[in-house]
């Protein structure tokens, strides 16, 4: 079986839920749909149900709307996509030439301040949660938040419960104080599903070398984000630079992909949408990386974390 490509983050559900386009139809708009995932050789796509902070007052309801749109899209195309909640179902889907769609929630406002809401999300098949978006929420501070000085008691309880349930904890968007609080509380691997290297481009959404190392030490991964504003340039070469830098700091076992497609207003030249993903592996090959390293970065590392956390 050829190596499985895993993308840890896209915001495509926003367009699907609003009815702008359908997951099953190749569109000239946006970045991700089933035909383009197939063209790009993407085996596993994590779909984020993103609760915008302005919708926090009805966060749980908003999450339900997006999850319902996800469920309806998957049910509409059983020949092409599977809602995967285990690594076994990912392997089965990929073996059958289908896309394995993993459901994630971005922004703990989806919980409406209730720890029990996490169990509801799990029962609906959510297997990853980003604790915050950019502002503060009841779980803690995001990169632009200064309300709590890190994670709250609820945020810590959510982290512990996620580890009990077997959900991947996503550190992307956390403030630095929240990040280190998370590292204190979490016992297992943590991911940053769509973040880049601060050393290459000092943006608050990017991770310092110390943060990258902390994620690697726990066996986690960081998914490189394709947003030019986080990369520092709008090119495939710049994506490769961030991948190589993170692999140097963390080791090749801890780098993954987190395109942020359909959440970013502009994609790099050469990675215009999901169908262009083969350019990334070609670029890594051209830079002399060993095939086994490339396979890990494109998906093997992310699958390792799924296997460990979801077990
Ligand atoms: Zn995001």
CA distances to 94, 169, 182, 303 from 295, rounded to whole Å, are 15, 23, 29, 11
Mean pLDDT of 253-273: 97
Distance 1 CA to ligand 1 centre (A): 31
Grade residue 301 by pLDDT with cuts at 50, 70 and 90: very high
Rounded CA Rg of the chain:
17
pLDDT at residue 123 tops 50 = yes
Grade residue 2 by pLDDT with cuts at 50, 70 and 90: low
Distance 288 CA to ligand 1 centre (A): 31
User: What is the average pLDDT score of the chain?
Assistant: 97
Distance 143 CA to ligand 1 centre (A): 11
Give residue 66's pLDDT: 98
CA distances to 53, 88, 207, 284 from 306, rounded to whole Å, are 27, 10, 22, 24
What are the residue ranges spanned by the domains of the chain?
5-310
Mean pLDDT of 149-165: 98
Distance 283 CA to ligand 1 centre (A): 25
* CA angle, 306 then 47 then 253, to 5°: 35
Distance 50 CA to ligand 1 centre (A): 8
Give residue 265's pLDDT: 94
pLDDT at residue 3 tops 90 = no
C-alpha to C-alpha distance for 90 and 211, rounded to whole angstroms: 29
Tens-digit pLDDT profile for residues 167-177: 999 999 999 99
Distance 133 CA to ligand 1 centre (A): 7
Six token digits for residue 148? 């709590």
CA distances to 67, 133, 178, 184 from 136, rounded to whole Å, are 23, 8, 10, 19
pLDDT at residue 1 tops 50 = no
Distance 96 CA to ligand 1 centre (A): 30
pLDDT at residue 30 tops 50 = yes
Distance 70 CA to ligand 1 centre (A): 18
Contact at 8 Å (CB) between 243 and 255? Answer: yes
User: What is the percent of the chain with per-residue pLDDT over 90, rounded to a whole number?
Assistant: 99
Sign (positive/negative) of CA torsion 5, 10, 16, 21? negative
Contact at 8 Å (CB) between 61 and 291? Answer: no
C-alpha to C-alpha distance for 167 and 128, rounded to whole angstroms: 5
Tens-digit pLDDT profile for residues 198-253: 999 999 999 999 999 999 999 999 999 999 999 999 999 999 999 999 999 999 99
Mean pLDDT of 278-296: 97
Distance 294 CA to ligand 1 centre (A): 24
Phi, psi of 304 (to 5 degrees): -60, -45
Burial class (CB in 10 A: 0-12, 13-18, 19+), 25: exposed
Distance 194 CA to ligand 1 centre (A): 7
What CATH number labels 5-310?
3.20.20.140
Distance 260 CA to ligand 1 centre (A): 7
């Amino acid at each position: 079986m050829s190596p499985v490509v895993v993308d840890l983050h896209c915001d495509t559900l926003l367009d699907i839920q609003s009815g702008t386009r359908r997951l099953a139809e190749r569109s000239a708009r946006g970045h991700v749909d089933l035909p383009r995932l197939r063209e790009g050789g993407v085996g596993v796509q994590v779909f984020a149900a993103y609760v915008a902070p302005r919708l926090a007052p009805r966060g749980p309801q908003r999450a339900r709307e997006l999850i319902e749109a996800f469920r309806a899209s998957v049910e509409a195309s059983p020949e092409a996509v599977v809602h995967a909640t285990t690594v076994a179902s990912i392997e089965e889907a990929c073996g059958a030439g289908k896309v394995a769609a993993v459901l994630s929630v971005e922004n703990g406002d989806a919980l409406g301040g209730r720890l029990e809401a996490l169990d509801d999300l799990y029962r609906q098949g959510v297997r990853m949660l980003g604790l915050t978006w950019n502002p503060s929420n009841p779980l803690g501070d995001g990169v632009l938040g200064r309300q709590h000085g890190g994670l709250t008691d609820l945020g810590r309880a959510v982290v512990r419960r996620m580890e009990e349930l077997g959900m991947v904890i996503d550190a992307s968007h956390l403030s630095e104080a929240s990040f280190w609080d998370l590292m204190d509380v979490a016992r297992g691997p943590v991911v940053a599903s769509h973040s880049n290297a601060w050393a290459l481009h000092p943006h608050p959404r990017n991770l310092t070398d110390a943060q990258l190392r902390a994620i690697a030490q726990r066996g986690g991964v960081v998914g490189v984000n394709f947003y030019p504003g986080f990369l520092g340039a709008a090119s495939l070469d710049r994506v490769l630079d961030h991948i190589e830098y993170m692999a140097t700091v963390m080791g090749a076992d801890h780098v993954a992909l987190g395109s942020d497609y359909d959440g970013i207003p502009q994609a790099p030249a050469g990675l215009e949408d999901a169908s262009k993903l083969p350019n990334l592996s070609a670029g890594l090959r051209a830079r002399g990386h060993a095939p086994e390293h490339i396979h890990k970065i494109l998906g093997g590392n992310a699958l390792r974390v799924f296997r460990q956390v979801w077990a």
